Amino acid sequence: MLQPKKSVFLAMALVLMLAAVLSACSKAEPADPGASASSGNAGPKEKITLRMTVWGSPEEVAPYKKAIQNFEAKHPSVKVELQHIAADYDTKLTTMVAGNDVPDIAMMESGTIAFPMAEQGKFYNLQEFLDTDTEISPDTLVPNITYSLEPGNVIGIGPGPESFGLFYNEDIFKDAGIAPPPSNVADAWTWDEFVEVAKKLTVDTNGKTAADPDFDPKKIKQYGANISTWWGVYSNFIYSNGGDFISADGKTFGLNQPEAVEALQKISDLINVHHVSPSPVQSKNIPATNVALQTKKVAMTVDGQWASAALAQSKFNFNVGVMPVMKEPVTTVVCGMFSIFKSSKHPQEAWELLKALLDPEASIDMLTAGTWMPAPKDWYTDPALLAKWTENLDARPSGYKEAIVDVILTKGHQTPTGYVKNFNNIMDLVNPALDKVWLGQQTAQEAMDSIAQKAQAQIKGRRDIKE
Amino acid sequence: MRKGMFYGLLFTAPAILGFAIFTLGPMIASLVLSLTNYNVFKEQTAFTGLEHYVRLFSGEDELFYKSLGITFYFVLLRVPSVILISFGIALLLNLNVKGRAIFRTIIYLPSIVPAVASAMIWMWLLNPDLGLINSLLSRLHLPTSNWLYGESSVIPSVVLTTLWGIGSTVIIFLAGLSGIPRQYYEAIEVDGGGWLHKLSHVTIPMVTPTIFFNTIMTIIGSFQVFNEAYILTQGGPNNQSLFYVFYLWRTGFRDAEMGYASALAWVLFLIILFFTFIVFRSSKSWVYYEGGDRA
């Protein structure tokens, strides 16, 4: 009696498992574009589907949809399926790759999984497309917005470059009778000039400024400056001081070298010596840039140009100047990128879609709102095109053209995530050590020296030089 | 008989299959993967044997020991707190006072708030400058703290944030308490004993099975703490809240080193198994089951 029961159970279990496995397989089928060509109305050419994944707020996704519409109108045989992954993008994409359910084209972040994927050959080399394309080439794009695994192997192109500037509240300067930050890079403040101004604009609850001997740093009402302790922000000053995350030959850890250490120390001094910038703990109370400036919690702040969008909606007199200069004026250029997966069966169509996504006409709303800057260079150099996204707009105050537009074209520096190999693992050591620097418990030299040996072991070279 | 067996299996099949496909299968898979260098993005996966485990225990991976130490500290701090506080609250809620149902609801309510939402609330409450807790402390002229943003205060602060979600533990204690027969208390009253006698001679012995169950569940849950690190601290400051599961997640999903992450997971599994086993063994000497021998 026992035997048949066991076999019944086993058979049932097997059948159900098989069913589960099969249904899981068939789910993946539609990814095969051949299978979805059932409509048959596309005439001689079979209709193909491109899948694309993006992250971003609804406002950021809107221009993608517009670009896709433009693209589909021009390419009637192609349908684009947009998959918006709002949260945990990298985790979900990793899972999709693990499950062989890979999109054709995806937005990628240089600081996270883009390079690990590229190292495993997951992406097309876009250089091959750039070489033969008649419409765009690296020279027609803003510098520093293409990402390369190694020289000659482009894995992604950024649709919206971003640089950094010194945003400020004009009224605070007017009331204090202080000249606001210059917008022309030739007139940029030195670091010391910046610190002096920041001191005068840092006010405690008794109305004393940080330049005053009776100043109480424990009761600060208004900070003169806010320099975030995020690498995106402090990298500007490391580069400006001639330092780098890694040596030019890609062999040595760079953050314990004198130039980088000096820059890090000066930022820490803003917090712990001059008391003009909030510490990481205090900055938990500092609202977003637009609110911080509007409510006069902060007089000036170094932030990415994307901050202009929210500032424009806040309706107060804000403006933007160039960041203070340590040795050379430099801005770090950061942006997401579009990459095409090797598994795509339609690389040519995906490339055309990528080009459509780079087209500023499609994302004009994002440009005028202030969130993005365009990718093609002629939108910066051709006065008619430049006017489209920089003139007569709330998000583009008087200093914008000089402090942001001119600077990104001439003084841009690639983001460290784009050329430092193994960046994440190096920063896993650097960030905890820097916590102590921002808290004033260690000097930048001590902190960086303390991890130098371990960081050196994580140095794997640079992507922008041939080995 | 045969028919009954068939239907029995048919109706339990979803549970059995669910376990086999979604729990047992992945567990076996992860055990196998922990012996390989499986990386999600790599085409080739090679068998590496015990290499990952050697790397873990040889001291090469400092973060392994660091995150393990932090997690142990958290467990050590949290388990007694949860058990004592939830037992205390359960005793209070078991009193026959007016509006008892309302109090019970209030205590349980935080347990149904999504973890992310309650973490956000705590971030604001514990904010060093603007937070409610520090401003109350300074108004009372008590020392304030950097809470989640201080190296030494971050783990106790995380313990504090998790304590407000003990509603379900309290409910289980309440169930245990309401199962104690009244006669025992009456017997103590007759003998002239007070509330302390009742607590130590009746209440606590009678709820030891519940304490036992709650202790095990709390130990397991505490070892697996993740949300708090993910939302509140991201492992900072200075890696002082790099919980084990957060480190595991970072290895697997950020660095895509699934093989290594699987090895980390299995080490945690064995650690939890070990402690559960210890508590089970010790239970023989302190858990009392009514109407039966000691366990």
Q: What is the mean pLDDT of chain A?
A: 88
Q: Are B225 and B204 in contact (CB under 8 A)?
A: no
Q: CA-nearest residue of chain B to A18?
A: B21
Q: Which residue has the higher pLDDT, A279 or B214?
A: B214
User: Is the pLDDT score of B271 beyond 50?
Assistant: yes
Chain A hits for B46, CB-CB cut-off 8 Å, are: none
pLDDT score of B236? 77
- Interval A252-272 mean pLDDT: 96
Give tens-digit pLDDT for B161-197.
Answer: 999 889 999 999 999 999 899 999 999 999 998 889 9
Closest CA to A466 of A121, A149, A138, A127: A149
User: Is the pLDDT score of A42 beyond 60?
Assistant: no
| Rounded-to-integer distance, Cα A185 and Cα A322, Å | 6
Whether residues A90 and B253 touch (CB distance < 8 A) is answered with yes
pLDDT score of A10? 52
- Interval A147-151 mean pLDDT: 95
What secondary structure letter does DSSP report for B254? I
Give backbone dihedrals phi and psi of A162, rounded to 5 degrees, phi first.
-135, 135
- Interval A215-244 mean pLDDT: 94
User: Is the pLDDT score of A46 beyond 80?
Assistant: no
Please report which confidence band the pLDDT of residue A11 belongs to, taking 50, 70 and 90 as the band edges: low
Closest CA to A130 of A104, A152, A151: A152
pLDDT score of A25? 45
pLDDT score of B60? 85
| Rounded-to-integer distance, Cα A20 and Cα B21, Å | 9
Query: Could you tell me where the DSSP H helices lie in B48-203?
Result: 51-57, 62-93, 100-108, 115-125, 132-139, 154-163, 167-178, 182-190, 195-198
Suggest the residue from B154, B249, B254 to mutate for an interface test with chain A (most A CBs closer than 10 A): B254
Whether residues A284 and B149 touch (CB distance < 8 A) is answered with yes
Instruction: Kindly state the helix (H) or strand (E) to which residue B4 belongs, with its residue range.
Output: helix B2-19
Q: Are A370 and A308 in contact (CB under 8 A)?
A: yes
Pairing of strands A105-108, A337-340: antiparallel
User: Is the pLDDT score of A21 beyond 70?
Assistant: no
Chain B residues at the A interface, defined by Cβ less than 8 Å, are 1-2, 5-6, 9-10, 13, 16-17, 20-21, 39-43, 63, 123, 127-130, 146, 149-151, 236-239, 253-256, 258
Whether residues B41 and A116 touch (CB distance < 8 A) is answered with yes
Q: Among partner residues A98, A280, A431, which is closest to B40 by beta-carbon distance?
A: A98
User: Is the pLDDT score of A187 beyond 70?
Assistant: yes
| Rounded-to-integer distance, Cα A399 and Cα A390, Å | 11
Suggest the residue from B30, B238, B247, B250 to mutate for an interface test with chain A (most A CBs closer than 10 A): B238
Whether residues A8 and B9 touch (CB distance < 8 A) is answered with yes
Q: What residues contact residue A440 under an 8 Å CB cut-off, 6+ apart?
A: A268, A271, A272, A279
| Rounded-to-integer distance, Cα B59 and Cα B78, Å | 27
pLDDT score of B128? 81
Q: Are A410 and A386 in contact (CB under 8 A)?
A: no
Buried b (16+ CB within 10 A) or exposed e, A320-357: bbbbbbbbebbbbbbbbbbbbbebbebbebbbbbbbbb
Q: Among partner residues A120, A433, A436, which is closest to B43 by beta-carbon distance?
A: A120
pLDDT score of A16? 53
- Interval A439-452 mean pLDDT: 95
Is ipTM over 0.90? no
User: Is the pLDDT score of A350 beyond 90?
Assistant: yes
Q: Which residue has the higher pLDDT, A17 or A352?
A: A352
Q: Are A218 and A281 in contact (CB under 8 A)?
A: no
Please report which confidence band the pLDDT of residue A384 belongs to, taking 50, 70 and 90 as the band edges: very high
Whether residues A98 and B236 touch (CB distance < 8 A) is answered with no
Shortest Cα distance, chain A CAs vs residue B179, angstroms: 39
Give tens-digit pLDDT for B205-233.
Answer: 999 999 999 999 999 999 999 988 888 88
Residue A414 pairs with which residues in a beta bridge? A333
User: Is the pLDDT score of A199 beyond 90?
Assistant: yes
Whether residues B9 and A122 touch (CB distance < 8 A) is answered with no
Q: Among partner residues B1, B9, B146, which is closest to A281 by beta-carbon distance?
A: B146
Chain A hits for B39, CB-CB cut-off 8 Å, are: 116, 120
pLDDT score of A73? 93
Written in H, E and C, the secondary structure of chain A is CHHHHHHHHHHHHHHHHHHHHHHHHHHHHHHCHHHHCCCCCCCCCCCEEEEEEECCCHHHHHHHHHHHHHHHHHCCCEEEEEEECCCCHHHHHHHHHHCCCCCCEEEECCCCCHHHHHHCCCECCHHHHHHHCCCCCHHHECCCCEEEEECCEEEEECCCCECEEEEEEHHHHHHHCCCCCCCCHHHCCEHHHHHHHHHHHCEECCCCECCCCCCCCCCEEEEEEECCCCHHHHHHHHHHCCCCCECCCCCCECCCCHHHHHHHHHHHHHHHCCCCCCCCCHHHCCCCHHHHHHCCCEEEEEEECCHHHHHHHHCCCEEEECCCECCCCCEEEECCEEEEECCCCCHHHHHHHHHHHHCCCCCHHHHHHCCCCCCECHHHHCHHHHHHHHCCCCCCCCCHHHHHHHHHHHCEEECHHHHECCHHHHHHHHHHHHHHHHCCCCCHHHHHHHHHHHHHHHCCCECCCCC
pTM: 0.83
User: Is the pLDDT score of A36 beyond 70?
Assistant: no
User: Is the pLDDT score of A203 beyond 80?
Assistant: yes
Shortest Cα distance, chain B CAs vs residue A49, angstroms: 24
In 3-state terms, chain B is what percent helix, strand and coil (to 5)?
70, 0, 25
Residue A338 pairs with which residues in a beta bridge? A107, A157
- Interval A211-240 mean pLDDT: 93
- Interval A132-144 mean pLDDT: 91
Q: Which residue has the higher pLDDT, A306 or B116?
A: A306
Alpha-carbon Rg for chain A, nearest whole angstrom, is 26
Two structure tokens written together for A60: 């950021």
pLDDT score of A45? 64
pLDDT score of A35? 40
Residue A300 pairs with which residues in a beta bridge? A168, A225
Whether residues A8 and B41 touch (CB distance < 8 A) is answered with no
- Interval A148-166 mean pLDDT: 94
Q: Among partner residues B5, B17, B258, which is closest to A16 by beta-carbon distance?
A: B17
- Interval A150-172 mean pLDDT: 94
Give tens-digit pLDDT for B62-112.
Answer: 899 999 999 999 999 999 999 999 999 999 999 888 888 899 899 998 888
Chain A residues at the B interface, defined by Cβ less than 8 Å, are 1, 4-5, 8-9, 12-13, 16-17, 20, 90-91, 94, 97-98, 112-113, 116-117, 119-122, 280-282, 284-285, 424-425, 428, 431-433, 435-436, 439
Whether residues B41 and A16 touch (CB distance < 8 A) is answered with no
Please report which confidence band the pLDDT of residue A48 belongs to, taking 50, 70 and 90 as the band edges: very high
Q: What is the SS3 assignment for B36?
A: strand
Chain A hits for B239, CB-CB cut-off 8 Å, are: 432
Q: What residues contact residue A322 under an 8 Å CB cut-off, 6+ apart?
A: A165, A166, A181, A182, A183, A184, A185, A187, A188, A329, A402, A403, A407
Q: What is the mean pLDDT of chain B?
A: 90
- Angle, alpha carbons B223-B227-B228 (nearest 5°): 85
Whether residues B256 and A113 touch (CB distance < 8 A) is answered with yes
Give tens-digit pLDDT for B235-269.
Answer: 878 889 999 999 999 998 888 889 999 999 999 99
Q: Among partner residues B6, B13, B129, which is closest to A282 by beta-carbon distance?
A: B129
pLDDT score of B3? 84
| Rounded-to-integer distance, Cα A139 and Cα A376, Å | 9
Helices (H) and strands (E) in chain B, counts: 15, 0
Percent of chain A predicted with pLDDT > 70: 90
Q: Among partner residues A90, A120, A435, which is closest to B237 by beta-carbon distance?
A: A435
User: Is the pLDDT score of B295 beyond 60?
Assistant: no
pLDDT score of A9? 52
Chain A hits for B43, CB-CB cut-off 8 Å, are: 120-121
Residue B148: CA atoms inside 13 Å, Cβ hemisphere, count? 29
